Structure 1
C-alpha cells in the first residue's frame, strides 16, 4: 500500500470519527497516560509522536512537560486538521508524512528527538517494522522510544479476545504479535535497555526502550 492510498484510507475512516474520537477511545486505549508519565524528557527536550491523530496525547504531554518541544506526525490530513484546531497556541508542530519513510530535518528542522512515542498506531501501519527501524535511528545517546499498543490478550477470556479482534478488524487494526520480539532485537542491536509491561492481562503492551547515554 502506498503512502497516498494508506493516507486516503485513514482519511476515509476518520473523516467523521475524528469529531468524537477522543470521547470514545478513552475507554479502551489503555496505558496512554501511563506512557506519558514515563516520558520525562529533559528540559527543553524534543518529543515526537508517531501517528499523533487528534493531538490528544501531545496536549497531555504539553500539560505534563510544559518546557518540552513537541512534534506530531500522521498520515491522515483529516486527523491533523483536528489536531491543529485543538492545539492552537500550544506550540506544537504537526506534519503529514509516512511514518515508515520521512525526513525529520525536512519536516521539522530537527534531526533527532530525545523522546519518540507511538500510541496505538503500529497496529494500523502495514510496514510497522520499517517504522521501528526508522525511528530508532532518530534517537540520540540517552534517547528513549515509548510504545503502547494492543497486546495479544494472553490472560483474557478467549471469547473476549475473539470479539475484540473482530471488532478491531473493522477499523483496519491488527495487533502485532511479533512486536515484543522485534523490539528485543532492536534493543540488542542498539545496546539499549527494554522495559516491557502488560496492561490488563495482556489487553495492551507497554514498552520503553532506552538507549545508553555516552558522555
Structure 2
C-alpha cells in the first residue's frame, strides 16, 4: 500500500472542523459506527453486481473499513482511497498490506485522476452528507473521475422526521434533509435509488447506484 499527501486545500468549508472532529473520533470510529452506519455491505454487493471495476476510488475512505470488502469483490482492482483526516488514513493503512491500494490525504473538491486513467467505480460511504458545503462539487468531481459507463455507488443518511435527531446529527457535521438523491439521479442514470428505515423510522438512509452517461 502506498500513501501520499496531496497539496489540495480543504475546500469543503468544514475541512478544519472535520479534521478536529476526527482527531478524536478516529480512535473510536470502528467500535461505534457499526450501530448506525447501515447498508455498507449491501452497497458493495450491489456495486459488484453492476460493475467489474478494475480501478476504484473511495471518497471519504476513513479508517479503511470498506477496503477489505472492495478487495474481496474486486480482487484484481487498483483501489484509491481519499480522505481529509490524517488520523483516519493512518488507521486505514494498517488494514491492507497491498501494493494495489493507494491512500491520498486531500479534500475532494476536484477529480483525482489528473489526466491519468479514470475510474470504473466511485464509492461514497457515509461521506457526502458531511460535505457541507461541497456535496454537489464532490458529485461533479466523481462524474469527471469516472470513465464513460462507470458507476457511482452511494450509501448515506437521508432524512428524519424528528427535529431533535436532525439537530443532533448536525452537531456531528451530518446534514439530513434528503438533498443528495435528486442531484444524483439528475447527474447519473439510476440503477438503484432506494430509501430504508432505521430503528423503526427514527431516520432513513439511502442507497444509490448510477451509471455515467454523456
Q: TM-score, with normalisation over the residues of structure 2?
A: 0.83
Contact 2:129 2:135 in 1 (8 A): yes
Name the one with the larger strand percent.
2
Q: Give runs of aligned pairs for residues 8-157 of structure 1, distance below 5 A.
A: 8-40=16-48, 41-42=51-52, 45-89=54-98, 91-105=100-114, 110-125=116-131, 126-153=133-160
| Secondary structure in structure 1 of the residue aligned to 2:165 | helix
Question: Alpha-carbon deviation of 1:51?
Answer: 0.6
Name the one with the larger helix percent.
1
- Output one character per residue of 1:83-132: Cα deviation in whole Å (capped at 9) or x when no partner: 112223474210011211243237xxx43111001011111112100111
Q: Give me the whole-angstrom Cα distance separating, in 2, the residues matched to 1:181 and 1:79.
A: 30
Q: TM-score, with normalisation over the residues of structure 1?
A: 0.82
| Cα RMSD after superposing both structures | 2.3
Q: Give me the whole-angstrom Cα distance separating, in 2, the residues matched to 1:39 and 1:90.
A: 23
Question: How many positions carry a matched residue from both structures?
Answer: 198
- Shift in alpha-carbon separation, 1:6–1:152, aligned structure 2, 3 A: closer
Q: Which one of 187, 195, 198 corresponds to residue 198 of structure 1?
A: 195
Question: Alpha-carbon deviation of 1:78?
Answer: 1.6
Gaps of 5+ in 2: 1-8
